[in-house]
Chains A and B, each alone.
Chain A
């Protein structure tokens, strides 16, 4: 470290002059405080300035000026920055006003806050530590500026040292895992940007360890400001390598094999080299390990100051003008810093990073295995030969997968990450694309039957082997395929799935949707469920940490439940609330926001019904006032009254008056009475509003049907039951139709209307029709058929009468009738022709449930078969002929039988011989 080069010395001169021209700083600590703050502001400005770099480069004039050194390298940026500082030094008039004007520019959040956090003492130290240590020293001192000596000089401050001066100001490079494996570190002094815990964390992260004393085993001694002299001494004796913070960060790069000039030593000798190196922009996110994105570059104040040192005087003047011009564009580019949503920023990149998908049996893993094996299962051309076993666990028989689940829990992310990990390239189609039958056919049809060119462009691919060419289609938001635009889309999708040569991944929210249900039959069904609270909390905590948000676990839990475990929404909410204040506590206004966010969670009627009766204040979802309680009714205003009516009886009220059980029961009945009375009122309101289309009455109904019963019967309720009214109502409708039909059949003979039939005739007819069969058996058949003819009843009507005439608690008369009698009754009825004054409509259609009919049919057939077999014993043996037995049964002579038989079995080669042989055989058997 020798400052023999003229460049260096001149630079230092300038800096020292800069220092000298501001004599105000020394005497007045207050002023110093202000100045140092403004100085840091200035450096902030510099960082912005640097961001404006790209804009600046667009300026042709500037380019001309920059021609010599300017390239798109970060190093060039440094120069520009330094220029501005040296600029003021050139003018020798660093007036406070100028600083002030610069201060007005918005500074990046992070640094600003950190500035505020610094207390007076530390700030007052600053000039001596930062600028003084590096700038105000004489050139000779500068030579010894290696940390050990600097620390020696300011040893007094050691005892009072605070945390790092510029926490988070330096980017922490991402190194390879275990790049510090086996290395031992010791940190002494205060590092510039990292505090002890953080540096410790970094070291441990990469497999290194920290020891407490300087020994021979020690690999590196990280030296910060105010380093312990004894340690340095010992280290020198033991020949332990000493590094400063920048070197340390650089070490991460070098150890993991990344060359990154940004972290190279700030030695004077390296300076020239530095200038020549044009490296790619490096990710500069604070404390966030992420793939590099040039956009987010952020320059740190420390760097700027240090780069001042590096700046050669020649360049200073050249770029001077440019830097001034750049100031105008600073503001614009500020927005670039954080224009990426958190959700995208922290999107999981690996399968095990997806929340709730880390386990072996997770959906992501299933999908991964499915994708891996897809080619094996489906690629083979002779698919019929070895069709995979239909296995729900692996989904081997399916060509497509269906991921379903509520929004914001990572379905799409899973699909994408899994595709990536399984080595598939994917095309993604979502609701923003039109997905009609035609278009789907066009887009998907092509992609499902062709191979991807992606790998050709990448140059990796040499062999044109279809099987190795993995690509798939992700159909996002399949349930959004609706309306006129996407008509027939789902059907087409199913068709495509059937023919596809590549795997398809469909994603939807509502698996129970009618359209999806048809699709689900063709897909490997993977259902995503809401992750558990702990899982989401852990993930969000780490995000909060990375973003520097302080939040209590309790509040975070509230946010998560408030967002209904929607991770995406949680992130958005966090991002929004933290934009004002990095410290979120539950006492703040954010709590109100959380409550607001919570309201948006859709509730299903069953939950709502539960809440109607159970407004326990400890439940965060519980409604608090009449408006919220009425809101519950509006979750489904047609279902809620029924739900409440169905379930109000099962409520166990909390506060029943009375001491004895009897009094309580009485009180309970009283409450029930009031509730049902109110519900009746609500029902009348509902009728009014529906008949007159007077929908403004809905809130009135809400009060009567939901609010009042809920208030009266406030207590515990189990899982609400689905209203039985629906089933009963449709049954009533069905019975009504059947009765009407019955009445129509009998109308000529009776005068009663359908109610009369239902109330008077039914039970009598039932007895008249079934009793003879029960008591007299087959002898009763004729009288029963007689009655049926008299009243023009069909066989179906018979069943209807029996079904409707039977009440619960009564024995079904059909069970009492002997099955043989039943069969012969049906046969006799069918044999006779019945003159009905009406055309027979198929009542089977009307009848929802058919119980007995089929049984009779079978029995009847069986009996008939028996009869026939007895009649024509000569044919029974031949299986081929048995099919035609019915028609042959009527044939009179054996001869005619054999002829018909032979004609019917013409195709059979062994026709006549067999037929002749077998009858004889069977006859033999008989005899």
Chain B
């Protein structure tokens, strides 16, 4: 009894629900003589990995679905042992090199190179190459990405790389130019609503259109989240009703409450409280940029129209600076303090104007 989002995941390129054009292109690409390196990018929950798996199945047949988890150990020059967990079938291997942290370069150099160097043993397979799926490429260090460059060219015969990431902005141009970039945009709200309805149908449930739309909107165009929310809603209350409450992820609620507190009061004590909440979010491994986005979204809905540009500017500025800096809490806090300062000043002036 797995969750719907995993249970009803499309297995082949044909059964994909949206971006069908792209699916067709992929199919053609697979069957063409020359399968290039791929760089698949797009937001979370858009279906990148689903598409990759579909393509692989198209390439090698159902054998790719027999997955196993393997562990490998490496030793860094500084005698530190790193353990890497990989997901592999007979035809492909999936690695998240960024798991190794700052030692990702060694993973790239040692592991990927060895895999790439070896040829396929089974000559009967359709393809003469195997595939390495590298996830979270944008989290790789620059060094690791550079290490990737040469491997990509040199072992073209024996292996193909499929890189998977959220944004290409942090992938070095040299790597980008060696791949066929494939953008997987997030599905639209309509598409999500449609998929939700379909899924419910296959589950033998009846999902009202209105609720489907509501969930789609709330899901922030993240299909995975939408499906999970839908299922939670089903567990919470069935049969569905249109005005049914949709439970959102806890961290989102927490973030919203944080934003509310910022607006509620602007004082030093409050900043201290907010700092604790921000730490809490960071400790739950919520990425700082998502915190920024969430806060900004909530703050903008609350604050006055003429402040909006200013606040967006601050948020953008701080988020950018955060990526240049070290400690995320500094920048989150700076954003909060700045917002408070501006907001309070604005309040005072408008109050003075009233009087």
Contact = CB atoms under 8 A, between A and B. Distances in A.
Contact of A649 (B1, B44, B249, B272): B272
Given A680-B325, A837-B68, A665 B338 contact: no
A680 B69 contact: no
A841 to B, nearest CB: 8
A665 B344 contact: yes
A676 B285 contact: no
Interface in A654-707: 662, 665-666, 668-670, 672-673, 676-677, 679-680, 683-684, 686-687, 690
B341 A673 contact: yes
Contacts of A683: 325-327, 330-331
Nearest to A743: B96
A666 B268 CA distance: 10
B17 interface: no
B228 A735 contact: no
A753 B135 contact: yes
Nearest to B50: A751
B71 to A, nearest CB: 7
Interface stretch (B115-123, B186-194, B275-283): B275-283
A670 B341 contact: yes
Nearest to B281: A807
Interface stretch (A477-485, A513-521, A724-732, A794-802): A724-732
A756 interface: yes
Residue from the set A665, A683, A736, A786 with the largest chain B CB neighbour count within 10 Å: A683
B284 interface: yes
A804 interface: yes
B6 A758 contact: no
Contacts of A666: 341, 344-345, 348
B228 A744 contact: no
Residue from the set A650, A732, A753, A837 with the largest chain B CB neighbour count within 10 Å: A753
A790 B338 contact: no
B3 A680 contact: no
Contact of B324 (A687, A750, A754, A787): A687
Contacts of A838: 69, 71, 85
Interface string B77-114: 00000000101000000001001000000000000000
B325 A791 contact: no
A758 B285 contact: yes
A783 B283 CA distance: 31
Contacts of A731: 283
B329 interface: yes
Contact of B283 (A735, A755, A763, A791): A735
A159 interface: no
Interface stretch (A545-553, A581-589, A764-772): A764-772
| Interface SS of chain B | helix
Contacts of B45: 752, 756, 760
A677 B341 CA distance: 12
Given A677-B338, A687-B324, A839 B271 contact: no
Nearest to B222: A760
A762 B251 CA distance: 10
Contacts of B1: 783, 786-787, 790
B67 A748 contact: yes
Given A666-B345, A725-B327, A837-B69, A750 B6 contact: yes
Contacts of A752: 44-45, 224
A808 interface: yes
Interface string A597-639: 0000000000000000000000000000000000000000000
B249 A687 contact: no
B49 interface: yes
Nearest to A690: B326
Interface residues of A, number: 66
Contacts of B329: 645, 725, 728
Contacts of A764: 3, 228, 231-232, 249
A680 B280 contact: no
A636 to B, nearest CB: 16
Interface in B302-355: 318, 321, 324-327, 329-331, 333-334, 337-338, 340-341, 344-345, 348
A669 B285 contact: no
Interface string B230-246: 01100100000000000
A739 interface: yes
A808 B340 CA distance: 24
A869 to B, nearest CB: 37
B12 to A, nearest CB: 15
B341 A728 contact: no
A728 B87 CA distance: 31
A615 B67 CA distance: 65
A732 B288 CA distance: 12
Given A668-B268, A735-B285, A755 B44 contact: yes
B2 A662 contact: no
B235 A669 contact: no
A686 B325 CA distance: 8
B282 A754 contact: no
Contacts of B15: none
B330 A686 contact: no
A302 B153 CA distance: 103
Contacts of B33: none
Contacts of A748: 67, 69, 87
Contacts of B53: 751
Given A748-B67, A751-B9, A680 B250 contact: no
Contacts of B338: 673, 676-677
A807 B282 CA distance: 12
Contacts of A787: 1-2
Nearest to A705: B330
Contacts of B135: 753
A756 B223 CA distance: 12
4 tightest CB-CB pairs across the interface, nearest first? A751-B49, A669-B341, A838-B69, A683-B325
